[in-house]
Amino acid sequence: MKRIVWLALACGIVLTSTGVASAQNFFRQMRVDSFEGSGIDLYHHGDFTGALSKFEDALRLSPDDLQVRYNHGLDLYALGRFSDAAADFRTCLAQQPDFVPALFNLGVTDIALNDYDGAKSIFQQILSDHPTSMRAHFDLGLSQYLSGHPDQAEKDFAVATLLHPQYVQAHYDRALAMYKTDNLVGADAELAAALKLNPSFAKGYFLRGAIRLREGDDSGARGQFESAAKTASDPVLKSLCSQIIAQIGV
């Protein structure tokens, strides 16, 4: 009889401690979620410093939380702390190698860190599993262009435009890569596609002006730079257009 009482008591103690532990975990997770939710909200409102503090609070409670670590990395990127952001994305990938958003963001962060070879290998890795990812083709093209390989970049942007013909930026980047490789005819055709999709695309007119100048058509170039100046919202681009127009003359 005594043994049964002791056994029941032991079982009660085990069950109670398990319950307490579960409740502790439950409430801790609630606090983690609350910190994380606040951090995401602040991030979306542009308060990256405030968001960072919330993500750090969450990580103090749950250092291995993958989602929080990922969002912490995004926030560090937004604050311009690219190396720290990359470290967070790597930590996520060490925990979960198929965490594709972290892999992709690591590639973007590598571009920001001027590690173009690192970025290329990441986007190529994504494309090996998902060859129709327009986004990966586009960013691979960007990595190629920025690392001084406009010929390679042109091919990647070309695939991006095929996958998503309405993506104006891909047409523009392809045109720019073609311009850099002296394919003025091809660049002009891509710009025609970009400007058809967005007739107020200032950069498109600007690049067209540069092409016209290379072709020796000063008057045509002037017209394009004037359109660029008219449609540009960026004051630097506007000013550069005005200076170029003044240099070209009548």
Partner 1 sequence: MSRRFSIILQASVAAVAIAGLVFIVAPSATPKAASASPSQAVNDLIDRALNGPAGPEDEGTYNLIDPIGPGANTEISAADEVFASTLTIAKYTPWKSYSDPFAAAPGTTPPPGPYSPSGPPLRQHRGTRYGS
Residues in contact with partner 1 by CB under 8 A are 33-34, 36-37, 40-41, 43-46, 48, 67-68, 70-71, 74, 77-78, 80, 99-101, 103-105, 108, 111-112, 114, 126, 130, 132-136, 138-139, 142, 145-146, 153, 163-164, 166-167, 169, 172-173, 176-177, 179, 197, 202-203, 206-207, 210, 213, 232-234, 236-237, 240, 243-244, 247-249
DSSP 153-195: HHHHHHHHHHH-TT-HHHHHHHHHHHHHTT-HHHHHHHHHHHH
Phi, psi of 249 (to 5 degrees): 80, -170
- Confirm if 184 and 215 have CB atoms less than 8 A apart: yes
State the minimum distance, in angstroms, from the CB of residue 161 to partner 1: 11
Residue 8 Cβ, how far from partner 1 at the closest point, in Å?
Answer: 41
Q: Residue 104 or 152: which CB sits closer to partner 1?
A: 104
Shortest distance in whole angstroms from residue 136 CB to partner 1 = 7
Q: What's the one-letter identity of residue 56?
A: E
- Rounded Cα gap, residues 219 and 12, in angstroms: 92
Query: Quick one: 68 or 195, whose CB is closer to partner 1?
Result: 68
Contact of 154 with 181, CB cutoff 8 Å? yes
Cβ proximity to partner 1, 195 vs 210, nearer residue: 210
Amino acid at 70: Y
Q: Report the candidate in 143, 172, 179, 148 with the shortest Cα–Cα distance to residue 158.
A: 172
CB 48 within 8 A of CB 78: yes
Select 4 or 46, whichever has its Cβ closest to partner 1: 46
In the bound state with partner 1, the residue whose beta carbon lies nearer, of 12 and 148, is 148
Least distance from partner 1 to the Cβ atom of residue 157, Å: 9
Q: How far is the CB of 41 from partner 1 (least distance, A)?
A: 6
Structure tokens at 65: 């939380």
Determine the number of helices (DSSP H) and then strands (DSSP E) in the chain: 13, 0
State how far the Cα of 206 lies from the Cα of 241, in Å rounded to an integer.
Answer: 8
| Structure tokens, 230 | 């008219």
Considering beta carbons, is residue 2 or 127 the nearer one to partner 1? Answer: 127
Q: Which is nearer to partner 1, 5 or 246 (CB)?
A: 246
- Name the minimum Å distance from CB 148 to partner 1: 11
Considering the complex, what minimum distance in angstroms separates the CB of residue 46 from partner 1? 5
Token pair recorded at residue 77: 């990127």
